[in-house]
Structure 1
Amino acid sequence: MAKHKSPSRGEPQRLRSALLGGCFLLSMILLVVYTSYVVSFSNLTFWRSNQAAPPVPKEEHKITASDPAEGQGPNIQEMSRFSIKDNELVTKETRPQKEKLPRNPFCDFSDRRNDYCEMEGDIRIHGNSSSIVFVTSSNTNGTNIQESWQLKPHPRKGDARAMARVTEMSVKTLSPHGAPKCAIRSTVPAIVFSTGGYMGNFFHDFTDILIPIFTTSQQFNGEVQFLISEILPIWNDKYRKLLKPLTNYEIIDFNQDHTVRCYPRVIVGLKFHKEMSIEPSRSPYGLSMVDFGRHVRKSFALERDTTIKLGPDQDKKPRILIIARKWTRIFANVDEIVRKVEEMGFEPVVAEAKYDLAEFARIVNSCDVMLGVHGAGLTNLVFLPTNAVVIQVIPLGGLEGISWIDFGLATISMKMHYLQYMISLEESTLTEQFSRGDPVLSDQKEAYRKHGWDRMIELYFFKQGVKLDTERFSSTLLHALELLRQR
């Protein structure tokens, strides 16, 4: 009889290993299925919350002694809870760029500086009635989906004075039966925005409109139409050279347009990043202020992309533009400043911005250094060549922070050099109006507390001039020369 062969010790171990492996594999399969379900559900929840959530209430900007005046570029931090940008950044690696928005239309009211809507499909615009309609079909229950949003497409949200000059528009969804019929149907997208607010102020023209419309429209390579509310012919003429490269189509006066225009895609509002600056992470294609500088120089056919480089074999003197304001924050001793810059080896150019922007842009571009007291005139830095030096003179009034925010950051981000000169008490013309012990001169914080913001802004911004101490200022000029040598 054959002997029965008993199993070896290794066989139970292999059996246990096989069972453990099988259990582990089954667990992993269940985990993958569960994870996929959770991710899908969370995304659905995000989209549904966007659909159901009411707009975030508008937050009024409270002015304090450390805040700028209305219209002078407030220091406002981004306070978005969520935005299209955030969602795109999260999903950029996993979905095509052309994929539809998480909701359609998508309206974001969470940003402190601007409201924004974007939609793709059948969109019909009737400017004269301030109405933008997204045409949608009936839902599965057979009832019409009707939603509505109200917004003012201008990036000064929270500034009541500015926004009072901006038309409120309605964005709503309607069934085909209730929507207005198209009179003109376009095959290109549209961007709707307002040039109300503080338009006409050179600084605000750029920081509120010209820079944001550049970043918003670049993705379309000219194949986009602008519908602009509160647009004035004088404004349109002044900036025609900057707007023309951004759109191949007629600019529509939104308020006066009685035609129902239909588009496949519409953006309502301009996304604001920060004063006179672009955040590449928030703009299509990673655009920056360097790109905006190129756009400006190309639009005005400016000759110089970079400054001269000083050296032992360089005989040409660097040109310094002295922004000579006539009414507020003036240089009270321009002739003395001219003599000093000549003594230091510069060729002085004294000028004030003119309505003929193209002419003044050429003057600015011909210079290597720009000198001016804090104010809208320094916005002309956008015409300077790369590597230029911007010298901002800061008058009394606790204006260091706002001066840096408005023009310092912009200068650096355009690959130029920035120098900030703080005047001494003796250099302010306010010494001719107040005694040395008055808080207006000796303690600006106390002056704001005692007299109030409006009164102090009137003094520091509109009734103060600068009599530059040219000997004290000479070290700043030396620094500018050294920066030009480093290129």
Structure 2
Amino acid sequence: MAANSFSAPAQAVKGVAKTLAHRRQAVVGFLFALIVILVLHTTVVFGPSWSTNDIVVLQSTSGEQNARTSSPPALLAPNNSIQVHDIDNGQKDGAAKNDGERRDQLGQTVKNDANDKMKEDLVGQELDGDVKHGAPGKPICDLSDPRYDICEITGDARAMGANRTVLYVPPADERGTDGPEWAIKDQSRKNLGDIKEVNVKTLSAAQSLVAPECTSRHAVPAVVFAMNGIIGNPWHDLSDVLIPLFITTRAYDGEVQFLVTELQPWFVDKYRLVLTNLSRYDIIDFNKDAGVRCYPHIIVGLRSHGDLDIDPARTPRNYTLLDFRLYIRDVFSLPPEGQGIPYKEANKKNAASNDNGTVTENPKPRLLLINRGESRKFVNLPEVSAAVQAAGFELLVMEPSRDMGMEEFARAVDSCDVLMGVHGAALTNFFFLRTNAVLLQVVGLGLEREALHYYGNQAKAVMVQHIQYFISAEESTLYEKYGKDHPAVSDPDSVHKQGWQGAKRYFWAEQDIRLNITRFAPTLHQLIRTLRE
């Protein structure tokens, strides 16, 4: 009995204790849930949030790639100063174009009214980091090429023009204790002494936590390059800047922005059509850019394959030098490939007229004679001009200058069957000749190898015929000035072996040409036969 009497109370106590325990757990759970809700509510209300003042999303004007069907986006502001986005307010000068459409910085083309909400949502996603640009990679700086250095950053790339720096912020799982750093000369000739360096740096784990915040975000890639060096004549303008820029950016089909160090307004103005075709976005004067521009991909530097050359095996789409010639002809709205040289086109029209009973005068092939204003000029230009006309050519004489509009000169070259001149930078305009037109190069004393290396091989590559006239020693004014026994006259190779300065002085700077008309006449007759074939 005793055992049974104590058993019932004990069981009752245990039941009460168990009930109290359950109730206590329920109360604790309720309180814990209440605390969590309060904490979350506090975080949402008082925690950090994006504001419209944190990041400026810049908009850029859209433009058509083909210069024939649309006018290029303006590179210069109305006062002829370079247009630079205001980093503080992010507003872009100029109105949107093309049927009321505009291209926002996410690369989306949206209607002005109907899709504004969609645009706002996309911008919000970009600011929140929800728009992905592909798997981020590490920056690769390649310093191995003898001509140029180049860096490519994919991922979180931040460009700061004020201190000429491009940063890469790696993903959290790729950050290390140290970050490699490079100093890059962002031109196609890294050995030039006057090219200032751009710093490219991968941030370490600690540095990534305090990385400078973006003042603008962009959806298109960017290319940082210098617009200086030994530019200022057509050969260097194309060989050192425009062809390397074509190699580096053509595959983007205009969806790339240029961040230019040492920006030259005259260069922008002269080559406006090419620049606005390679990039549909305003050029940024990087030296004066005070913000932090963030891009999904940044290239620092320009690729170059040689003097006025393109190696198709090293280009994204196997571009060739012929592709470049056809490209700039299209940019300058010159007749498309397949239209013959002017002389033969005129013959076709005359033949059609004669078939209709209309008698027309036989056309003459047209020759553009480049008259240099300083060194390597024709000192007997009137006699040369008369000889060209006597041989049966219609003659056009032009003296190009840095200030001459490229559109005008391009059309003049295209209208001719022959481009003639003494070896020099102005012959670079052979890119505006039509297929099977002729480059007639008068080769001065000591310039035989240079004539072939800089123009002969290139003319052949772009399907332009190349004829060289090698002057005799007596046709060089060096003969008159120094006599037949001077090394520059009797042994030009010995001068070349002494270095660039001596060769430059005699063969490029001091030499003019007094063409022997009798000796030159057979070349003109050969030229006529070539055009008639």
TM superposition score category, shorter chain reference? 0.7 to 0.9
Match of 2:180 in 1: 147
How far the C-alpha of 1:249 sits from its partner, in A, is 0.4
Question: Shift of the alpha carbon at 1:109?
Answer: 0.5
Does 2:363 correspond to 1:334? no
Classify the secondary structure of the residue corresponding to 2:485: coil
Tell me the residue number matched to 1:357. Answer: 406
Which residue of structure 1 lines up, in the alignment, with residue 513 of structure 2?
Answer: 466
1:230 counterpart (262, 282, 290): 262
Q: How does 1:200-239 map to 2 (within 5 A)?
A: 200-239=232-271
Structure 1 residues 465-474 or 302-311, which shifts more? 302-311
Alpha-carbon distance in structure 1 between the residues aligned to 2:181 and 2:314:
27
1:323 equivalent in structure 2: 370
Partners of 2:247 and 2:304 within 8 A in 1? no
Residue from 306, 311, 331 that aligns with 1:279 = 311
Q: Distance in 2 between matches of 1:100 and 1:418?
A: 49
Residue 462 (structure 2) pairs with residue 374 (structure 1): no
SS of alignment partner, residue 182 of structure 1: coil
State the match for 1:170 in structure 2: 199
Provide the C-alpha distance between the structure 1 equivalents of 2:480 and 2:253, rounded to a whole number of angstroms. 55
Normalised TM-score (structure 2): 0.68
SS of 1:275's partner is coil
Q: Which residue of 2 aligns with 1:438?
A: 486
Contact 1:344 1:478 in 2 (8 A): yes
Q: Is the 8 A contact 1:417 1:483 kept in 2?
A: no
Give distance in 2, aligned partners of 1:182 and 1:99: 19
| 2:417 pairs with 1:384 | no
After TM superposition, the structure 1 stretch with the greater mean CA deviation from structure 2, 166-175 or 371-380, is 166-175
Preserved CA contact (<8 Å) 1:278 1:288: yes
Q: Deviations over 1:425-476 (max 9, x none)?
A: 1110112211222222111233456x76423421211111011112222222
Deviation at 1:144, TM superposition (A): 3.5
SS in 1 for 2:482: coil
Question: How big is the shift at 1:177?
Answer: 1.2
What are the equivalent positions in structure 2 for 1:178-327 lying under 5 Å apart?
Answer: 178-303=210-335, 305=337, 306-308=340-342, 310=344, 315-327=362-374
- Percent identical across equivalent pairs? 40
Q: Assess if the C-alpha contact under 8 Å between 1:194 and 1:231 holds in 2.
A: yes
Deviation per CA, 1:14-43: give whole Å up to 9, x if none: xxxxxxxxxxxxxxxxxxxxxxxxxxxxxx
* Superposed displacement of residue 258, structure 1: 0.9
1:410 aligned residue: 458
CA distance 1:364–1:473, change in 2 (3 Å) = same
Counterpart CA distance in 1 for 2:455 and 2:310 is 13
* Letter of the structure 2 residue corresponding to residue 125 of structure 1: A
Deviation (angstroms), 1:100: 7.4
- TM-score scaled to structure 1, two decimals? 0.74
Q: What secondary structure sits across from 2:325 in the alignment?
A: helix
What 5-or-longer segments of structure 1 have no aligned partner? 1-97
Q: 1:420 aligns with which of 451, 460, 468?
A: 468
Of 91, 100, 121, the residue aligned with 2:155 is: 121
Secondary structure of the corresponding residue to residue 123 of structure 1: strand
CA contact (8 A) 2:440 2:467 kept: yes
After superposition, give the CA deviation of every residue in 1:71-129 in whole Å (9 maximum; x if it has no partner): xxxxxxxxxxxxxxxxxxxxxxxxxxx9979x621111010000011121110000121
Matched, 1:107 2:141: yes
Q: Secondary structure at the residue paired with 1:263?
A: strand
Helix, strand or coil for the counterpart of 1:274? coil
Contact kept in structure 2, 1:125 and 1:260, CA below 8 Å: yes
8 Å Cα contact 1:128/1:254 also seen in 2:
yes
1:450-461 alignment to 2 at 5 Å? 453-461=500-508
Report the structure number with the largest CA radius of gyration: 2
Stretches of structure 2 that go unaligned for 5 or more consecutive residues are: 1-132, 352-361
Equivalent in the alignment of 1:133: 167
Return the letter of the residue paired with 1:431: Y
> Contact between 1:122 and 1:263, CA under 8 Å: does it hold in 2?
yes
CA contact under 8 A between 1:388 and 1:417: conserved in structure 2? yes
Map of 2:6 onto structure 1: none
SS of the aligned residue for 1:286 comes to coil
Contact 1:124 1:132 in 2 (8 A): yes
Give the superposition deviation at 1:165.
2.2
Q: Which amino acid aligns with 2:363?
A: K
Alignment check: 8 A CA contact 1:114 1:156 kept = yes
| 1:23-74 Cα shifts (integer Å, max 9, x gaps) | xxxxxxxxxxxxxxxxxxxxxxxxxxxxxxxxxxxxxxxxxxxxxxxxxxxx
